[in-house]
Structure 1
């Protein structure tokens, strides 16, 4: 029996120099999240907010688990983000616009390769890996990730879970679809501690001969990795 596809809305936010992080966090936690989680369906299943642990920009990341990738086009969500509704004023939205200036934030709606049936509380830390492969190398990349990489990461002390997604579309202001195409593949790996990165098991998982072959320079168009720590979470997480 086919498993219904779920989705993820992925949002980096650069708040700019004129807005304090505390003000953005207060708006996000007290005003922004609850209307989304209360949309009928529900369309939004859970949400987590993360802050950079690697001192890089953008410093804020929000993840929203969706009942399906099409949730971002549901009339109830579109009405909520319509500027005429007053819910998302331009001086406080997370679309990166502050004081009339554009900041390089973006939202992703992405489709998971595989559904993770058991929801868990998020790890305290998360590595975000975005990869764009050359077309001829994609099949082996996916096979390596599923057959070797995630099984090895699962043996690392402090590993919580790994999730993989494939980019479906990029959303701009007020949910409109944009032409920008960030890396196609997204992997989220959650950890109890960043000490995991110093373990023998982690070093082994990230230096195998197959990994070195798959991620050769002539096969990879783009590779980005970030480290975040969890700030807040909402929704249907189980212990």
Structure 2
């Protein structure tokens, strides 16, 4: 997962060079070892919280939902769910995004969203406050409307910066 300050950066030489100027080792990995590679571009639609910097733990939740259900989905996420999650001990920030480009485009008539919840390493994700956020009636109604849902938990390892990139030999 990479966070870009500007989408236009994808059309600039430093990003293009990552594909155009691969080392033999990188080329081997991409051609022979990766069984799955996916690229999606999301646009930020909502941020709650003021934490800055990389969070030790990221909880991501991706949803695919029919276009006609998007307004209710967004209302639930903003009015109830993000508020509930923000009460979990050691929560830092929630950002929500909508997909604007993907190399495996979803079916017509659907939108894809992802929420990224930032937490400290020690947090309440296994506790009663988070559990409560997962059992609300409005949530159950929304999940019944969702075509697909995928959640993952990531641990922050390293923040890569473009200016730090050194091409492998």
Q: What is the alpha-carbon distance in structure 2 between the residues aligned to residue 209 and residue 232 of structure 1?
A: 38
Change (3 A) 1:93 1:233: farther
Q: Does 1:69 align with 2:7?
A: yes
Give 1:106 shift: 1.4
Matched, 1:229 2:155: yes
Q: Which moves more between the two structures, 203-212 or 187-196?
A: 187-196
Q: Which residue of 2 aligns with 1:92?
A: 26
Question: Over aligned residues, Cα RMSD in angstroms?
Answer: 2.6
User: What SS class does the counterpart of residue 184 from structure 1 fall into?
Assistant: strand
**Matching residue of 2:146:** 220
Within 1, Cα distance between the matches of 2:19 and 2:91? 39
Local SS of the residue matching 2:158: strand
Report which of the two has the higher share of helix: 2
Secondary structure of the 1:136 match is: helix
Aligned residue in 1 for 2:117: 189
Give structure 2 stretches of 5+ with no counterpart.
162-169
Aligned to 1:173: none
Structure 1 residue ranges, 4+ long, deviating more than 4 angstroms after superposition: 115-119
TM-fit CA distance, 1:67:
2.4
> Given the two structures, how large is their TM-score scaled by the length of structure 2?
0.79
- Contact 2:51/2:92 (CA < 8 Å) preserved in 1? no
Aligned residue in 2 for 1:113: 45
Q: Alignment partner of 1:122: what SS? A: coil
Count of residues in Structure 1 that have an aligned counterpart in Structure 2: 157
Separation (CA, whole Å) in 1 of partners of 2:143 and 2:135: 11
TM score, norm. by length of structure 1: 0.58
- Residues 68/114 of structure 1: CA separation in 2 closer, same or farther (3 Å cut): farther
Structure 1 residue 68: Cα displacement: 2.3
Q: Over residues 159-204 of structure 1, what are the superposed CA-to-partner deviations in whole Å (9 max), with x where a residue is unaligned?
A: 121111111112xxxxxxx3x1267111111211365122221111
Alpha-carbon distance change, 109 to 196 in structure 1, aligned in 2, over 3 angstroms: same
SS of alignment partner, residue 137 of structure 1: helix
Aligned residue in 1 for 2:86? 154
